[in-house]
Structure 1
Amino acid sequence: MSKLSLKSGIVKDIIIVVVGIAIIWIGLRVAFGTENPFYVVSSGSMIPNLEIFDVIVVQGHVNFDQLKVGDIIVFNRPDGHDKVIVHRVAEILNKDPLVIRTKGDANPGSIPGTDFPITKGDYIGKVVYVIPQIGYVTRILTPPINYIIIAVIVGIMLVKQFGKPKSSIEKLSDEGKTKSLDETVNKSDMDESLSNDKSYLTENSDLSETKTNDEFKNSTDKDPALQ
């Protein structure tokens, strides 16, 4: 296999992986109606319902106006939008327009500027699924572990390229070589057989000729008419 074909195969595999990830990511964003449907819990403010490193799945298609007390939501901190918060809706402060107050389950009370006032502009989505402790993966994927994983993936691609079965052309070539070798062997065996048959016929011909001469001599001795 040429270096050019090997490189093109690796590039093709990388493109397939990247395109596949992009399609899945875009599909998830459309399905959940938010730019990022996954968040990792990074504080203990929602313990015991949400633990640190739990991954939460956020549904952005749930309208802000449909929220009610008890819902767990994700929103940008109203004071500066400098942090993403996941807390529970604790109170409806105003209905038109809707303004709410939230609170962390483990916190003694709501924090001004963080838990209220939450408006539609701060809202990201409602928590619909929780995947326990899977967020540890994000902690593991830090240098140099992430580079090692990339190296392993590249290594698998290389093995895949070198381990590919022979092409149909290579197989036909090998079969042709085998067939030619068989024909050569068969031809050699045939020549040897013909040579042996020829030698056998020559020897028998000499014996027959000698026997015929002897018989002719004996017959002339016995038959007076031929003297």
Structure 2
Amino acid sequence: MTSEKFCTKCGSELSMGDSFCTKCGNPVSPDLPEEKNTMKRQQRSPFWYLLPIFLGVLGGVAAYLILKNNDYQKAKRSLFLGIILTLIPVFIVISFEVVYGTQNPFYVIASGSMIPVLEVYDIVVIQGHVPFEEIEVDDIIVFNHPSGHDRVIVHRVASIIDDNPKTIRTKGDANPASIPGTDFPITQDEYIGKVSYVIPQAGYVTQLLKPPMNYLLYLIPLAIIFGILGFKHQKYKKSG
């Protein structure tokens, strides 16, 4: 079908399919098909989906804003992943409170005061549901330092000093004697829980979570991700 009904030169009427005017011979320009947009939409790197893994809900929001115009479904999944990964620690803390009776049932042994029973970097798992009134001599307990509650101590119960209110004295197995102000007096206020399990030497992992190693664990993967994204962006600009 032509784009003209009349010849642009002489004004004669044209028939469908004419390639030139039958009166004056003027060429007839055919209708050009609508140009299709062959430009491909910019492909977003799958590395954007790692943002929620490292940054939780903030990374999920960032990935959502970046991906929503390219792939809305993937953008929603990224946001959902970020929310889920942020809620998981909250769920774990609540679960610990229910199962162990304390928000933090794991403690890393930091000194040699309980050698050979507990070595440095062993992890003890405590049970906070065990009432202080049921604690007996030879139990290993976790408690706050009596003077100021500024640090946590793991020692063995050496004796019951008083029953009303219950007050106990502890002692480190490797120490020659109980230390006043540290091992006693221990009351309900200082008590955290009773040691139930020991995970040998698992505390070495916690060294990776201390500065500056914890920063490197986050910064190195993020630097790799953004480096790859930057490379892909430059490659896309050159190909465009």
Same fold flag (TM > 0.5): yes
| In the alignment, structure 1 residue 116 sits paired with structure 2 residue 188 | no
Aligned CA-pair RMSD: 2.4
Say which is worse superposed, 54-63 or 26-35, in terms of deviation: 26-35
Q: Which residue type is aligned with residue 202 of structure 2?
A: I
State the shift of 1:116 in Å. Answer: 0.5
Q: Which amino acid aligns with 2:107?
A: Y
1:86 lines up with 2:147 in the alignment: no
Matched pairs, number: 157
Residue 31 in structure 1 maps to residue 99 in structure 2: yes
Unaligned runs of 5+ in 1: 160-227
Q: Whole-Å Cα distance in 2 between the matches of residues 155 and 23 of structure 1?
A: 30
Give me the whole-angstrom Cα distance separating, in 1, the residues matched to 2:203 and 2:150.
21
Question: Larger radius of gyration, structure 1 or 2?
Answer: 1
Taking structure 2 as the reference length, what is the TM-score of the superposition?
0.59
- TM-superposed CA distance for 1:51, in Å, is 0.8
122-131 or 22-31, larger mean C-alpha shift: 22-31
Letter in 2 for 1:109: A
Q: Please tell me whether the aligned partners of residues 93 and 103 of structure 2 are also in contact (alpha carbons under 8 angstroms).
A: no
| CA gap 1:72/1:120 in 2 versus in 1, 3 angstroms | same
Which residue of 51, 55, 67 maps to 2:119? 51
Residue correspondence of structure 1 range 1-227 to structure 2 within 5 A: 3-4=67-68, 5=72, 7-150=75-218, 152=221
Cα distance in 2 between the residues matched to 1:9 and 1:149 = 25
Residue 169 of structure 1: aligned partner: none
Q: Tell me, what secondary structure is at the counterpart of 1:127?
A: strand
How far 1:20 sits from its partner (Å)?
A: 1.9
Letter of the aligned partner of 1:95 in structure 2? D
Query: Retained in 1: the 8 A contact 2:93–2:104?
Result: no
Corresponding residue SS for 2:195: strand
Q: Which amino acid aligns with 2:156?
A: R
Check 1:144–1:87 CA distance in 2 against 1; reply closer, same or farther (3 A cut): closer
- Which whole-Å CA distance do the structure 1 matches of 2:184 and 2:88 have between them? 40
Aligned-partner Cα distance in 1 for 2:120–2:171: 17
SS at match of 2:120: coil
Q: Output the CA distance in 1 between the equivalents of 2:161 and 2:137.
A: 11
Going from structure 1 to structure 2, the CA distance change for 1:148 and 1:29 (only over 3 Å counts) comes to same
Unmatched runs of 5 consecutive residues or more in structure 2: 1-42, 45-66, 229-240
Task: Give the % identical residues.
Answer: 55
